[in-house]
Structure 1
């Protein structure tokens, strides 16, 4: 049994990771500002990591603005890795995104690239789990892509997955030996980004029209056709969009 501290352990992915690890007999502890642990200020870090074997970082920036998101991931990761070395942590697991290692201009991805570099160069044994976009973000992607009541998105390919499956992947890695490399995980189906959102909104009775526009930005930047899909050798999970949608109505 390992003691595993999950940074961001009260959020969408983190709470599921904690549940899965506990179910498999591990001593998994959620750490977040709400539990007295702040990776930006360092508050509560040393106490939370005392006796920890593994640290899982699934935390997220509260802002996607270019400088703010970069500052969040570099500051948080630097503080976390420093505290891990002091505590003798032997495995650092971080959740990141499929596509960060491909040419793109997305500010959020650039911040994750900076985070990944800090981890690789830290000297702490690590595993980086790159996941594709989550089904859970259908609504938010539609909202940020809506102009005058119309959703405009490129037809770039996407291979989305359920947050439950993301958490399974992260928990499995956390329970194992450090990989000291990157892995990718994804859902079973590829869609055009516009088609993915169109299907989700249609199922939910959202009347917004979704228009394919290959010049439309995705999170503020243009993307290539294959930026967001996994490479050969990725672990593919089985949950389909058609299975996920009925079980996950939008929050009101």
Structure 2
């Protein structure tokens, strides 16, 4: 005879409260698959890493005398490994708050590798910029199948740079300089992507935290999250 609460109304209120609170499912429904972290960043790292590696191996075909710092295939391979780890982190369902030790370890390693990738890219840019400016002042001449280059041809004790198995010196003075320029551009892009990945990882982990201020009555136990 008295007033009875309808079970449907109660369940409807619970559903409404759940929708208001949101959650991983609700948040995921508003996020496109391609925009989820770190899929896009890992994809860019993979593309740039492959491009850096391919150009580096093309540089080795000009002359076997080129040093490792002039052909940074090591940087491209390292950045490809970073991107693979980013894909692993994506496929284990990335969440800002770690739920398992595996996710915490992978996130930590990915953050560290993004930082290392940033440092490596900066080092490659410095090396390629130095060699680009150096090659820009070369005066080269062909001797047999070698290309002998100097900065001051009139100086008898000037330092010489020998590029073996180069039939045409234009491969050094033009093609190699183009590769240096491409490496600088690609590694600058890679440095920006690695910096963005490390920043987003840090932001998700440390920018959101509990301040410990109770904003409602003691019985409610609601805390403000900023």
**Same fold, TM-score > 0.5, yes or no:** no
- TM-score, normalised to structure 1, is 0.24
With the length of structure 2 as denominator, give the TM-score of the two structures: 0.27
Rg: which structure is higher?
A: 2
